[in-house]
Amino acid sequence: MLRVAGLTKIYINRYDAQAGGVRDVSFDLPPGTFFTLLGPSGCGKTTTLRCVAGLERPDAGFIAVEDRELFDSARGVAVPMNQRGIGMVFQSYAIWPHMTVFENIAFPLRVAKERRYPREEIRKLVDEALATVGLAGYGDRPATRLSGGQQQRVALARAIVHRPQLLLLDEPLSNLDASLREEMRAELRRLQQQIGVTTIYVTHDQSEALAMSDLIAVMDHGRIVQLGEPRAIYFRPASEFVAAFIGAANLLNGTCVSAVTAGGVGPLRLGDGAEISCLFPSGGEIGRATTASIRPENIVIAPLGAGTPTAANTLRGLISASSFLGGTVRYDVRVGEYALRVTGPAETILPPGTGVQLGFPPQAVVAVG
């Protein structure tokens, strides 16, 4: 449905250095996909979104929706932003304060150039949009009298009122407080599935991305470093960066000691000589320096001498700090030269200084590069 290929836009700051922008971003989206661009600030996710919207002009690349080309640098095609027929929700919501809610939402219908919408139809569509976002009856309210959450819904209603083929959302939840955010997250996802519109969602919050998306593109320094479904991203991070960015990760540096086939399990020698079994999604060569990632929640922690270890991988260490987080306890454990973070149950809190043994299955340890 949406095809983006080779999208490049480079910003030069005033020291003539390249700062920010995107390089060679490509993805194809089937219709109805909820697609998230995820990454830290400056990674290029917003730039990519704005290029698709037409707010920025890429230096090179190709963008097409269905069979309609929006941008093609090779042929000099660049459809202006107001002719792309896309719906967009801005980070600040951009609700026009001098209009009512109805007028805000009706705006795209009023300025539409491809066809004229008669008054009754406008009213019908706007009322439908209001109902969809759960603001039925709010039409006459002045825009200045809306809460943050309500503004966001109005922005969404405005973006979908003209039944666009593509919906763009630029960090729409970042201005809401925590509890509202969770609620809106589910709400947005439900709405998107109900309407069935292809959506691109930009966020820096990885839990949001994991919860809402069909497809995630993790971006770093202007490039997509991994593109895949949430589970794949989480359990099989393609690089240290992805591993560390999505969820918490412990990174262990070691060396691969024997050849491993792609997707297979093999030994990894750690710096202090200990060996653990590790999953190699793309295989391993002898002698190659490898980093492995273990999620804190996948490590079982028990005091030394609490029984024989049953896990395939066992490491011994000393607790250097423990924090009670309510539902869990977070431990910082020193294992040789490594500092590992481990999540344990909250019923027993092991104090700092306790000797512990850590156990984890090979599938929980993923080689990331």
Partner 1 sequence: MSASGITGRLAPARTSWLEALRGDQRLIVAVLVGIVLAVLMLPPLWILLQDSVTTTDAIGNVTGWTFAHFRRLVTDRDALRSIWNTLVFAAGSTVLSLVTGGILAWLVERTNAPFKVLAYLATIISMGTPYILHVIAWLFLLGKVGPLNDAWRHLTGSTDNLFNVNSMAGMILIEGLLWSPLVFLLLGATFRAANADMEEAARMSGATVFDTLRRISMPLAMPSILALALFVFIRAIGGFEVPALVGMPGRIYVLTTDVYEATIVVPPDLGYAASFSVVMVAIVAGLLYFYGRLSKNAERYHSVTGKGYRPRPFDLGRGRWIAGGLIALNFCVVLLLPLLTLLWMSLLPFLRSFSLAALPMLTLRNYRTVLYAGDYIRLALNSLTVAAGAATAVMLITAVAGWIAARRGPGGRTLDQLATLSLVFPGICLGVAVMEVYLRVPLPIYGTLWIIAIAYVIRYMPYGMRYVYSGVLQLHRELEEAAGVAGASSMTTLRRIVAPLLTPALVAGWLFIFLIANKELAIAVLLAGPSSQVIAVAIFDAWVNGQGGELAAFGLIWTALMTVIACLFFAQMRRGSADVYGN
Cβ of residue 166: shortest distance to partner 1, in angstroms? 11
- Rule CB under 8 A: choose which of 27, 201, 245, 338 binds partner 1: 27
Give dist(CA 48, CA 56) in Å, integer.
9
57 is a site residue for partner 1 (CB under 8 A): yes
- The single residue among 23, 45, 153, 162 that binds partner 1, judged by CB under 8 A, is 162
Task: Compute the least distance from the CB of residue 32 to partner 1, in Å.
Answer: 14
Q: Give 167 or 315: the residue with its C-beta nearer to partner 1.
A: 167
**CB-count burial class (<10 Å; 0-12, 13-18, 19+) for 99:** middle
Binding letters toward partner 1, positions 108-137, x by CB under 8 A: x--xxx------------------------
Answer yes or no whether residue 82 interacts with partner 1 by CB under 8 A.
yes
Candidate residues 34, 62, 245, 280; the one interacting with partner 1 per rule CB under 8 A: 62
- Per DSSP, the three-state class of 171 is coil
Q: Output the smallest distance, CB 26 to partner 1, in A.
A: 4
| Site map 303..342 versus partner 1, x via CB under 8 A | ----------------------------------------
Up-side HSE of residue 65: CA atoms within 13 Å toward CB?
A: 19
Which of these, 360, 361, 317, lies nearest to 340 by C-alpha position? 317
Q: Which two tokens stand for residue 184?
A: 């809106």
Q: Is 72 in the site for partner 1 (CB under 8 A)?
A: yes
Residues 6+ apart with CB under 8 A from 93: 151, 152, 154, 155, 172, 175
Q: Directed axis angle between helix 178-195 and helix 119-132, to 10°?
A: 130
Nearest residue to 158 (alpha-carbon basis) of 100, 116, 207: 100
Residue 42 CB-density burial (10 A; 0-12 exposed, 13-18 middle, 19+ buried): middle
φ/ψ (deg, to 5) at 179: -65, -40
Site size toward partner 1, by CB under 8 A: 52
Question: Which residue stretch of 54-62, 121-129, 286-294, 307-315 sits at the interface with partner 1 (rule: CB under 8 A)?
Answer: 54-62
The answer to whether 54 and 42 are in contact (CB under 8 A) is no
Residue 54 engages partner 1 in binding (rule: CB under 8 A): yes
Rounded to whole angstroms, how far apart are CA atoms 77 and 2?
16
Shortest distance in whole angstroms from residue 206 CB to partner 1: 20
Least gap, CB of 229 to partner 1 (angstroms)? 9
172 binds partner 1 per the rule CB under 8 A = no
Contact residues for partner 1 (CB under 8 A)? 3-6, 8, 26-28, 53-55, 57-62, 72-76, 78, 80-88, 90-92, 94, 96-98, 107-108, 111-113, 155, 158, 162, 168, 215, 224, 227-228
